[in-house]
Chain A
Amino acid sequence: MAWPNIFGRGTLFSRFSHHHVVVFLLTFFSYSLLHASRKTFSNVKVSISEQWTPSAFNTSVELPVEIWSSNHLFPSAEDATLFLGTLDTIFLFSYAVGLFISGIVGDRLNLRWVLSFGMCSSALVVFVFGTLTEWLHFYNQWLYCCLWIVNGLLQSTGWPCVVAIMGNWFGKAGRGVVFGLWSACASVGNILGACLASSVLQYGYEYAFLVTASVQFAGGIVIFFGLLVSPEEIGLSSIEAEANFEEDSHRPLINGAENEDDYEPNYSVQEDSAVTQVKAISFYQACCLPGVIPYSLAYACLKLVNYSFFFWLPFYLSNNFGWKEAEADKLSIWYDVGGIIGGTLQGFISDILQKRAPVLALSLLLAVGSLIGYSRSPDDKSINALLMTVTGFFIGGPSNMISSAISADLGRQELIQGSSEALATVTGIVDGTGSIGAAVGQYLVSLIRDKLGWMWVFYFFILMTSCTILFISPLIVREIFYLVRRRQTHILSE
């Protein structure tokens, strides 16, 4: 009995209709496509900075100006790289701000419209940024900055919407493992973006943007015509109603105190007629929901570490070990692999425990150890890849879990159920705070690396991971206390 419904009756998978599968795939690929267009940008950076600068080649041979040095947006490739880094930072900040806004918007308007609009419009912006400016040979720094700010804002509609839709379809039981698998979408998007970009890069970087933007636009259209935002849309009962019914009938022995966290109290008949439009929660109310602030702050620290790995790992590898850039790029995929496995496995364990914070805490403690281990990695590719996977498992895993499964838990907790829409808003708050952390982190990491060296970057990561544990410690204490209590009552009841 302590092992809940997940495998006991095999309900987790048998309960899923083809609608669930389609929703899973559509949300998965819509976010993948959004991430793919971001990855395209980082993969064509070399080509773009070549396009923006005159040739620096030194030769006695005449270099005709129109072929080799007619573009003078930046005097050298270093300046162009610096500007591209600035664009990254600008994007992260506007993305973070956008997350807060689009979460609120998503809960008030139709999630499908918001998601579809976000995908199509950001695809258009990417098209203008990368393709149109090149076709017209119009290169302007301010235009690029403005377009990238707008792109950040529009891209931010993606995550809160897809998490909210997934939260609508997949209930708390089994949410950990489903979301764990599902949060591979970012990594799949990275791989997709890298493949798309590299396959057309020979025709010119503008086609890399054109292809990813077009595919993303097409994805937006498909979402508009094919996505069901919630089971209620086709007259199915909502997941809470279902879960409530099942738990009611299968778990008769409930200690009153236990209700507190995992067990939804009986709520009114409102849920059965949930088709009626429910009122959205205010931003302030969403912030005050229990767990939102601690998890947001924790995620800010954790996403900082996670994104630093994402952005700096290839650079660190080629810089510290002298490995080739393409090789380092390929090797850094192992971090993602570790993150996906970690997220799924930890989600699965947390489903069994019905508590997520203790799993996070354990994983983060081990993450500190793995960071120390990774910072002392020998100059050997296979050992490094292994350590990288382990680090990804313990850092990427919890990071995926907070941004998806836990956000969905928070947005669907009992306090607001049935009375309001909060999922997208809460997801926006958690991920928005996280993205601010990530944006600040990018700056701090480059600063620390310049002033103190790579070793201190790792110390900084360890500090940030510890901060994550600190922020969620009240929840850990409470949930462990609850687990012990449940075990005791369980023993007593048998």
Chain B
Amino acid sequence: MAPGGLPRLAGLARWAAALLLALGVARAPALPEVCVRCPGSVRRWSRVALFCERTPARSLRARCCLDPEGAVLGLDLQNCSLKDLGPDFPQAHTAVIIDLQANPLQGDLASTFRGFTQLQTLVLPQDVRCPGGINAWDTVTSYTDNQICQGQRNLCNTTGHLEMCPENGVCVPDGPGLMQCVCADGFHGYKCMRQGWFSLLTFFGILGSTTLSVSVLLWGTQRRKAETS
């Protein structure tokens, strides 16, 4: 047997183990850190729990409601003594419902929710204003111990003027009260100046073959008899 036989076998085993591990991870995606920001799990009968149980494919894990791909659909961080939402919070940008009541939150939340385009229900402590202000939501309801911001509005449509973005740009919602300009359909590149893709292969194919045939033709008719000096 070759001297390298044993290490090779060991390498193979390690590789197989890695593969199995990878498959396992694929089956049960890693829990986003934001879900364990606060100990405990989603309380039964809470809004997030009710939302999650509406569809069987969704699963409750720690403080989150996850869809089969592992994206956060609901986040229940109520009663976590949070002053701010932390650096992991953007992981929940796919959330439809977020419950933050009973937290001593401070400061303006507007930019915290950048990218939270799916968010439809946001439960906040009573003294915290809805991000983006009252205009960013369909209904804002105040209760004694909390405040509910319901139904995110698309401000790109409501404000009415079309000239909100530079040429070839289009306005898209970017979270409650937030908008951003991205490239309109079919445009790409810096300042969305480019449209479509140039076919290098076709161009050089045509140019190359034309050059070749013209060169051969002219060589034959013109330079063949030329005396090289």
Contacts and interface: CB of A to CB of B under 8 A. Distances in A.
A380 to B, nearest CB: 32
Given A61-B181, A62-B180, A203-B196, A225 B223 contact: yes
A234 B227 CA distance: 6
B192 interface: yes
B190 A61 contact: no
Interface of A: 18-19, 22, 26, 47, 50-51, 55, 57, 59-64, 67-68, 70-71, 110, 200, 202-205, 207, 210-211, 214-215, 218, 221-222, 224-228, 233-235, 275, 277
A234 B195 contact: no
B179 A62 contact: yes
Given A51-B190, A62-B178, A204-B193, A18 B221 contact: yes
B226 A234 contact: yes
A204 B194 contact: yes
18 contacts: A22-B218, A61-B156, A62-B181, A63-B181, A67-B182, A68-B166, A71-B190, A203-B196, A204-B193, A205-B193, A224-B215, A225-B216, A226-B217, A227-B218, A233-B229, A234-B222, A234-B226, A234-B227
Contacts of A64: 180-182
A222 B215 contact: yes
Contact of B226 (A26, A67, A221, A233): A233
Interface size class of B (residues with CB under 8 A): 35 or more
A218 B193 CA distance: 28
Contacts of B45: none
A227 B222 contact: yes
Contact of A203 (B195, B208, B225, B229): B195
B171 interface: yes
Interface in B190-229: 190-198, 203-204, 207-208, 210-211, 214-219, 221-223, 225-227, 229
B107 interface: no
Nearest to B224: A234
B174 interface: yes
Given A57-B166, A214-B207, A222-B214, A275 B227 contact: yes
B159 to A, nearest CB: 8
B160 to A, nearest CB: 13
Nearest to A63: B181
Contact of A61 (B180, B189, B221): B180
A202 B190 CA distance: 13
Contact of B191 (A55, A225, A226): A55
A26 B164 CA distance: 52
A64 B210 CA distance: 44
Interface of B: 156, 164-166, 169, 171, 174, 178-183, 189-198, 203-204, 207-208, 210-211, 214-219, 221-223, 225-227, 229
A110 B210 CA distance: 26
Given A222-B214, A233-B226, 6 more contacts: A26-B218, A60-B179, A61-B179, A67-B182, A226-B214, A226-B218
A228 B222 contact: yes
B55 to A, nearest CB: 33
Contact of A221 (B171, B179, B180, B215): B215
Nearest to A202: B195
B198 A207 contact: yes
Contacts of B203: 211, 214
B35 to A, nearest CB: 28
Given A64-B180, A203-B198, A214-B204, A222 B211 contact: yes
Question: Which 10 A/B pairs are nearest by Cβ-Cβ distance?
Answer: A226-B218, A203-B198, A57-B166, A225-B215, A62-B180, A218-B211, A204-B194, A61-B179, A202-B195, A233-B226
Contacts of A61: 156, 164-165, 171, 179-181
Given A50-B193, A62-B179, A62-B181, A225 B218 contact: yes
Contacts of B178: 62
Given A203-B196, A214-B207, A67 B181 contact: yes
Contacts of A55: 166, 191
Nearest to B156: A61
Nearest to A225: B215
Nearest to B229: A277
Nearest to B212: A221
Contact of A67 (B190, B225, B227): B190
A275 B214 CA distance: 27
B219 A226 contact: yes
A202 B204 CA distance: 18
B193 A47 contact: yes
A375 to B, nearest CB: 36
A233 B225 CA distance: 8
A200 B166 CA distance: 22
Contacts of B210: 218
A228 B181 contact: no
B225 A68 contact: no
Contacts of A63: 165-166, 169, 180-181
Given A62-B174, A218-B210, A228 B182 contact: no
A51 B191 contact: yes
Contact of A226 (B198, B208, B223): B223
Contacts of B227: 233-235, 275
